[in-house]
Structure 1
Amino acid sequence: MCGIAGYMRSCSPGADEDTLRRMGEVIRHRGPDAGGEYLDDTVGLAHRRLSIIDLSPLGNQPMFSGDGRYVIVFNGEIYNFLDLRAELERQGYPFRSRTDTEVILALYARDGVACLAQLNGMFAFALWDREERTLLLARDRIGKKPLYYFHAGADRLAFASEIKSLLQLPEVGREIEPTAIADYLKYLYIPAPKTIFKGISKLLPGHYLVLKAGTAPQVAEYWDVDFSRRAVWAGEEEAAAELLDLIDQSTACRMIADVPLGAFLSGGVDSSAIVALMAKTSAGPVKTCSIGFADKRHDETPYAREIATMFRTDHAEYVVGDDLAGTVTLLPRYFDEPFADSSAVPTFHVSRLARRTVTVALAGDGGDENFGGYEKYTTDLLVDQVRRSVPALLLRALAAFSSGHAGTLLRKANSLARSALIDAGDAFYRTNTFIDDEELQRLLAAPVRAACSGYDPAGHTLRHWERVRDADQVTRMLYTDLKSYLPGDILVKVDRMSMAHSLEVRAPLLDYRVVEFAAALPSRWKIRGGDKKYLLKKAFGRQLPAGILNRRKHGFTVPLDSWFRRELVPLTEELLLNGTALDGCFAVNELRRLCHDHREQRSNHGTLLWSLLSFALWHREYVEGVSCSTI
């Protein structure tokens, strides 16, 4: 795993090799083993390497093709590179290293941009054609690896694995995009292609950007998951067996490495399934890592321990608690923009724990989005059933009757009725967001509120929802999450927290072949009644105990409500209540009301306070004069 950065010289005429080195050094945590730069009259490229395959200097980058025409900086892993290499060798292509990077160069020399469809992996790379003076930026299908770019018109473009590299260029400003604040408070992250900074964008998953010197860049999509293709199986047993074999293959190819390898283990279905497959083929005990909490309501370590014992892994655990404020303060320097998924805290710690003994860890990410594992899916299916079967007149009467009641049952009835009265897409948007429109308006400072007038963050959800408008409810939910929540939240969290510790994380359930297989399954094999991930559990019925397969999904949750009444109170008071730096973003009186009501236990605002504290920490790190060169 690595970090990449670069620029067209037209973007920053004063930039030189020292600029490239700074762009690389601020993301050195992504690749501490080697680094290099390339600079010619038109383009500059920087690379920082985390050595995984072919640890020799032959694997260092920037890397040139054999004839010297192409030069590449690459971040990621290509899992089918050995098969591609064998094919290229049969056609006479010579190789100097054992790296997958060199395979990309040879494949591009043969096929051009069409090579992207042949790559099975997680990647972001920049490839410069010195003869045609053309730059290609590309990102993997699912969005495992990040790629940001700054465009200032014509061919004035810069790119990087993390925003902090772009901020090394004097032409790249730090002006906040107001609508991104609204997006952030709604989703807890900023959906692509937007970022918090004006002028900086995310390259979307499954997309590439081509720029010929002297012309404007062109962005195009090369892959999308297609739910309209339906495969045919003799029955559930055949489909489950095929799925198990496919996940076994995707796990095996992710165990290829020249460095120590292990796994994250939460004790849930997905991570337990991956550990089971790893244990089957590993020459020695699989090294597994788990994170726990003193608050037993959020602690999954007993389940992880059960799996570790079952498969005789070399297991390690860490309990989150010590110096919580110190950890929370560190996080923004790795995310570069506001990010409020609180499970970043345990992900940070499990990555640090894993890095003590391994350089690569496999994880279970993707099972929920592919096979329907989130509780919200069954909730929205129930709402949709009510929407289709109960007359709107009765729903309005129920909503009016139950409005304002404090009782749990009536509050749930009110929520159900109100959700059933709106369009299914709008209802799923509300499910995926964490603050209503009224609270958002109260929180935003007047200038931000004015700048967001007429803006609707729902567009980030609805554009994906509408793209599969002819599909059933399950498919529309899964597609929308695969295109938004997964790459915007889950994969960002895992990439930044693992890379903070120079750890590579691989996700077998996000192999594009698994994603396409899941998309071809009928929805009834994903969610059946209240049973989520139905076929995935069936596939692992003989590998995992029933107690693991059938227990209620826990998730990587943290005790936010209690943290904001104890451990995080001093930090919250310092940044949200006593400072003035955020006055231009948020309404001060509303911040005070939220903090007071939460401290007095009148309401639980843990998630919202976490998002506000995370924003304040980011603001201090990136806007209030702290130099990114010190990160």
Structure 2
Amino acid sequence: MCGLLGILTADRNAAAIAPELGEAVHCMRHRGPDESGTWHDDDVAYGFNRLAIIDIAHSHQPLRWGPAGNPERYALTFNGEIYNYLELREELRRDHDAVFQTEGDSETIVAAFHYWGAHAVRRLRGMFAFAVWDTEKRELFIARDPFGIKPLFIAHGAGGFGFASEKKSLLEAADLLGIDLSIDPRATEHYLVLQYVPEPETLHTGIRRLESGSYAWIRPGGEPEITRYFTPRFPVVPFVRGKSEAQKRYNEIARVLEDSVAKHMRADVTVGSFLSGGIDSTAIAALAIRHNPDLITFTTGFQREGYSEVDVAAESAEAIGARHVVKIVGPEEFAQAIPEIVWYLDDPVADPALVPLYFVAREARKHVKVVLSGEGADELFGGYTIYREPLSLRPFSALTPGMRRAASRMSDRLPEGRRGKSLLQRGSQTLEERYYGNARSFQDAHLRSVLRDFHPEWTHMDVTAPIYAQSEGWDPVARMQHVDLFTWLRGDILVKADKMTMANSLELRVPFLDPEVFKVAERIPYKQKITRDTTKYALRQALEGIVPPHVLHRDKLGFPVPIRHWLRGPELYEWARSQIAESGADHILNLQAVGQMLEEHRSGIADHSRRLWTLITFMVWHGIFVEKRIKPQIQDHQYPVTL
């Protein structure tokens, strides 16, 4: 695990820029406080920070490896973990007489790349973003894991091609690369609608992201040649009646999940687990404690009633026999942490749940160096309540386009709050029109009021239309899952998971997002994912006897944060008002309109909490990265290597 930064120069001046690269990588110190340094040859310069998890005393980066006769042919820099590295090392030794000098997973990547080429990425079970420089062929290969668990930002300018684990390092190296740092208006509009910046965009025009499940070849002076190697698919699977056949499927889910957790426990440091009141994290913790009887679990919550799963999580920890640690977050520390958190994010993510995640990660880092978590279960197994929407809208499925337009007009004529208005509105739209993920911050009417330069032609369809095109003929729930894997999961869920834990030099692992688990999940039929009574039906059946009964069939709460109440009261209202008053983003946002929204929210005329949080998060981001007005107090975390 580390923070990596690299530049493939256009004019073979890597030696000259290496010192500046070392300075640029320092702002990612939190990603790897155990070791840091640089390496270069004529064409390529690397900077890195290492968080040592496996083979702590060795596996230093950048790692050099090569076959007999050229033992330093390749130079690797790598962020992540490969959980099946032991099995791959054995195969490479057996079939290719590969020789390894360390006991870590990094060498496995390079050896697999040498013998299997780009196809090697399909063999890796893990989370990764890495770069391999071939000193013989003078070409760079970069790749990212199938689901996008680990980030990789890229930029291409007159000075060469750059890549990094965090965008802020590329911002530091912008002059070396000669890239455009203007704010991307389309990405800004997408952020306001979705509450995150969708891949491959960032808010800086000259910096993009290598998408999940992709790799690229780059040669000096050339453009990156990007290939998608993994596209998740949910093919139509017939529903087979009969308890015995269903039980086989449930057993298969339990088996592959147990195998995934076992491999995710591989580490030379202590592994803990996040634990909420939900089925996903509880399942992971219950399986993890089989491999570590001294497992420590961590949860967070708020003092306000109805906004905490602390009691349920504590009951779960007791039921599985884990030691449990709780962090309660108050509104004052919540607000004080926002600038620091946004700095760690690189681009704004308007999900208030990332704030308590930051605090529980900080608490966990006092005890462990690695945690497991339950991200990805909802997308793979059908866990979001909105996935039941096709059931309620089934009567509308036979409507002609003309009938849909008529239903839409009827909905428009009904006053806000009238029963049936929302049903008519949703039923009048096709799935492609109405569904673009879990977060829907702004509709067009609100965008017009707050954006100085509104482009109605830029919509969520820019992002989702190509994704929907891949899923023609699938059932509606599968299509929604497919959209979420490419949008909500990698744009919000995994960004906050990576950024908030790595901000605290804590490695987070997600056993649900494993290629072998996905192979099982993709074959679950529609009727075994969603019923009228529950979500994740097949997963719940598979976890009978693993997850405690008080959690197994509990409704999904999510991670509600009381910003709706706090923005109306003394907790956050004055703070929010000061952010609006001091913002220098008036050329992008109509700050007067935003201020009016805050007053309407405070008075109870409307609930603008989600939209306000999206706007204020953007203002803080703009204050840090554009105006340079806000200067977060960043801790230079120092932790022991072997907790």
After TM superposition, is the score higher than 0.5?
yes
| Aligned-residue offset at 1:471 | 0.7
| Aligned-residue offset at 1:174 | 2.7
Partner of 1:575: 579
Is the alpha carbon distance of 1:415 and 1:46 closer, same or farther for their aligned partners in structure 2, counting shifts above 3 Å? Answer: same
| Aligned-residue offset at 1:277 | 0.8
Alignment check: 8 A CA contact 1:564 1:599 kept: yes
TM-score by length of 1: 0.94
Where does 1:61-460 land on structure 2 (aligned, <5 Å)? 61-66=61-66, 67-90=71-94, 91-152=96-157, 156-169=160-173, 170=175, 171-228=178-235, 230=237, 235-282=245-292, 284-321=293-330, 322-388=332-398, 393=403, 396=406, 400=410, 403-407=413-417, 410-411=418-419, 413-429=420-436, 432-445=439-452, 448-449=453-454, 452=455, 454-460=457-463
TM-score by length of 2: 0.92
Is the alpha carbon distance of 1:623 and 1:384 closer, same or farther for their aligned partners in structure 2, counting shifts above 3 Å? Answer: farther
Return 21-30 or 579-588, whichever deviates more.
579-588
In structure 1, what residue type is equivalent to 2:150?
K
Partner of 1:10: 10
| Aligned-residue offset at 1:406 | 5.0
In structure 1, what residue type is equivalent to 2:41?
D
Unaligned runs of 5+ in 2: 635-643
Alignment check: 8 A CA contact 2:85 2:108 kept: yes
2-structure distance, mates of 1:584, 1:627: 18
| Aligned-residue offset at 1:459 | 1.8
Is the alpha carbon distance of 1:443 and 1:401 closer, same or farther for their aligned partners in structure 2, counting shifts above 3 Å? Answer: closer
| Aligned-residue offset at 1:430 | 7.7
Instruction: Provide, for residues 58-79 of structure 1, a one-character-per-residue CA deviation record: whole Å limited to 9, x for no partner.
Output: 2110010041110000000000
In structure 2, what residue type is equivalent to 1:5?
L
2-structure distance, mates of 1:436, 1:509: 33
Question: Counterpart of 2:371 in 1: which secondary structure?
Answer: strand
Instruction: Provide, for residues 515-556 of structure 1, a one-character-per-residue CA deviation record: whole Å limited to 9, x for no partner.
Output: 121111111111122310000000011222333122211001
Question: Counterpart of 2:290 in 1: which secondary structure?
Answer: helix
In structure 1, what residue type is equivalent to 2:103?
R
Instruction: Provide, for residues 13-46 of structure 1, a one-character-per-residue CA deviation record: whole Å limited to 9, x for no partner.
Output: 6961221112221101000000121112111111
| Aligned-residue offset at 1:402 | 7.9
Instruction: Provide, for residues 224-248 of structure 1, a one-character-per-residue CA deviation record: whole Å limited to 9, x for no partner.
Output: 1132275998611010001100000
Question: Counterpart of 1:553 in 2: which secondary structure?
Answer: coil
Return 539-548 or 118-127, whichever deviates more.
539-548
| Aligned-residue offset at 1:173 | 4.2
1-structure distance, mates of 2:577, 2:265: 46
| Aligned-residue offset at 1:457 | 3.0
In structure 2, what residue type is equivalent to 1:549?
L
Partner of 1:497: 500
Pairs aligned (count):
620
Unaligned runs of 5+ in 1: none
2-structure distance, mates of 1:6, 1:35: 13
1-structure distance, mates of 2:503, 2:394: 41
Return 65-74 or 85-94, whichever deviates more.
85-94
Out of 618, 627, 638, the residue aligned to residue 615 of structure 1 is: 618
Question: Counterpart of 1:603 in 2: which secondary structure?
Answer: coil
Alignment check: 8 A CA contact 1:8 1:158 kept: yes
Identical counterparts, % of pairs: 35
Partner of 2:552: 549
In structure 2, what residue type is equivalent to 1:548?
V
User: Is 1:59 matched up with 2:59?
Assistant: yes
Is the alpha carbon distance of 1:36 and 1:428 closer, same or farther for their aligned partners in structure 2, counting shifts above 3 Å? Answer: same
2-structure distance, mates of 1:319, 1:384: 42
1-structure distance, mates of 2:583, 2:97: 65
In structure 2, what residue type is equivalent to 1:275?
A
Where does 1:580-595 land on structure 2 (aligned, <5 Å)? 581-595=584-598
2-structure distance, mates of 1:146, 1:519: 24
2-structure distance, mates of 1:139, 1:404: 48
Partner of 2:641: none
Alignment check: 8 A CA contact 2:371 2:507 kept: yes
| Aligned-residue offset at 1:601 | 1.5
In structure 1, what residue type is equivalent to 2:423?
L
2-structure distance, mates of 1:216, 1:628: 35
| Aligned-residue offset at 1:431 | 6.1
1-structure distance, mates of 2:437, 2:74: 47
| Aligned-residue offset at 1:386 | 3.1
1-structure distance, mates of 2:257, 2:109: 24
Partner of 1:599: 602
Is the alpha carbon distance of 1:377 and 1:629 closer, same or farther for their aligned partners in structure 2, counting shifts above 3 Å? Answer: closer
2-structure distance, mates of 1:295, 1:614: 23
In structure 1, what residue type is equivalent to 2:433?
D
Instruction: Provide, for residues 291-328 of structure 1, a one-character-per-residue CA deviation record: whole Å limited to 9, x for no partner.
Output: 01111211101110111110111100011105221112
Alpha-carbon RMSD across the aligned residues, in angstroms, is 2.2
Partner of 2:33: 32
2-structure distance, mates of 1:107, 1:401: 58
